A and B are shown apart, each in its own frame.
Chain A
């Protein structure tokens, strides 16, 4: 943890408006992107974003620097707020569910072939497939591949275990391949 982070946390604990503005500048864009990824409507994302930071400012005393970084702690609050918002909204969105377990039948080689070899057409197919993923799986994939968070950090954000996150990642990769094959067929 840097000296700036220590000062920032101290300022937030003192409810200093200056520190609050600084926190918004440091983490606001990333948190808004995280929320907007899970909530397609911009109005909803704005509302949840505000709720997230109000909670952060109010509960900053509960933050434990030994358990996670401030960024990860705020991400956790944002993830929970977005999931809660979705539950309350109950939007009628259809996601792909592999109930028959066909995705699990895919081999690791097939998955690596699809996701690994650079191919612009496959990239577009993957983008289409990502839209059919449930928000929590999409969030885990993004945290791992785009934000490059560790399994431990993702587990902290999603309030689960690193092994659970690992199995979820593995399952989601195969699911993406299955969706791509369905789209191709």
Chain B
């Protein structure tokens, strides 16, 4: 059937149209407040809907932060320390150039780990050695001349002072305060420092062993007395 034929039927089927019209009249009417309720529902849904979705941005920021931490190359602290420490090293003066071998000898005899106290001690030793050397030079120059007793005494005194300084230097012990290993620049020790630390560790071990022996002896005596 074509559209025209059905349009004609629409006009001819009067009974059917009347029946439908009557039925439509009996269809329940729309409540007056239905549209208002609907608008409230729509408004409530609009409020519930988040305007800006934030969590993808937070996740992206976290990922970027982790990647930055992961990909950033670590700082080369030892080289920095070396670079920083270089200027601190004392430049020997012209007068000290001649005395270099003896100074080196002294320093190897008494390796000092820490920069600040070592500097002081080095300065003390250097002054002492300089005095002694000066005395020796004077002695040599005046070798042909008759040696005066006061000069010899002075030289002896200087040597004694140097010897005392040496012994003092040997008896210096480092504490935790002297070696702040928590500071990054102290992570790397010089060979002298390592040698001193080993020496101290050995001494400490020996003392501990002696102490243990004494405790054991004491215990034996206690047991024997009982």
Complex alpha-carbon distance, A162 and B4, angstroms:
13
Q: 9 tightest A-B contacts by CB?
A: A126-B19, A32-B30, A115-B13, A146-B20, A24-B35, A127-B19, A115-B16, A116-B12, A122-B15
Cβ–Cβ < 8 Å partners of A142 in chain B: 20, 24
Cβ–Cβ < 8 Å partners of B22 in chain A: 123, 127
Q: Assess whether B37 is in contact with A145, with CB atoms less than 8 Å apart.
A: no
Q: Which of A39-70 contact B (CB under 8 A)?
A: 42, 45-46, 49-50, 53-54, 57
Cβ–Cβ < 8 Å partners of A127 in chain B: 19, 22-23
A3, CB-defined interface residue at 8 Å? no
A29 CB contact (under 8 Å) in B13, B14, B30, B43? B30
Q: How many A-B residue pairs have CB under 8 A?
A: 106
Interface residues of A (CB under 8 A from B): 15, 17, 20-21, 24-25, 28-29, 32-33, 36-37, 42, 45-46, 49-50, 53-54, 57, 112, 114-119, 122-124, 126-127, 130, 141-142, 144-146, 148, 150-151, 162, 166, 169-170, 173, 176
- Total count of chain B residues near the partner, CB < 8 A: 32
- For the complex, would chain B's binding face be called helix, strand, loop or mixed by DSSP majority? helix
Q: A141-B16, A166-B6, A170-B1 are in contact. List 7 more A-B contacts (CB 8 A).
A: A17-B42, A45-B28, A54-B45, A145-B13, A150-B3, A151-B6, A176-B16
Chain B, residue nearest A176 (CB) = B16
**24 pairs, CB–CB < 8 Å, chain A vs chain B:** A17-B43, A21-B35, A32-B34, A45-B28, A46-B34, A49-B30, A49-B34, A50-B34, A50-B37, A112-B12, A115-B13, A115-B14, A123-B19, A130-B19, A130-B20, A130-B23, A141-B16, A142-B24, A145-B17, A146-B21, A148-B10, A166-B1, A166-B6, A170-B1
Chain A, residue nearest B1 (CB) = A166
B31, CB-defined interface residue at 8 Å? yes
CB distance from A113 to the nearest CB of B (A): 10
Interface residues of B (CB under 8 A from A): 1, 3, 6, 9-10, 12-24, 27-28, 30-31, 34-35, 37-39, 41-43, 45-46
User: Known contacts A36-B27, A146-B21; is A28 also within 8 Å of B15 by CB?
Assistant: no
Complex alpha-carbon distance, A166 and B8, angstroms:
13
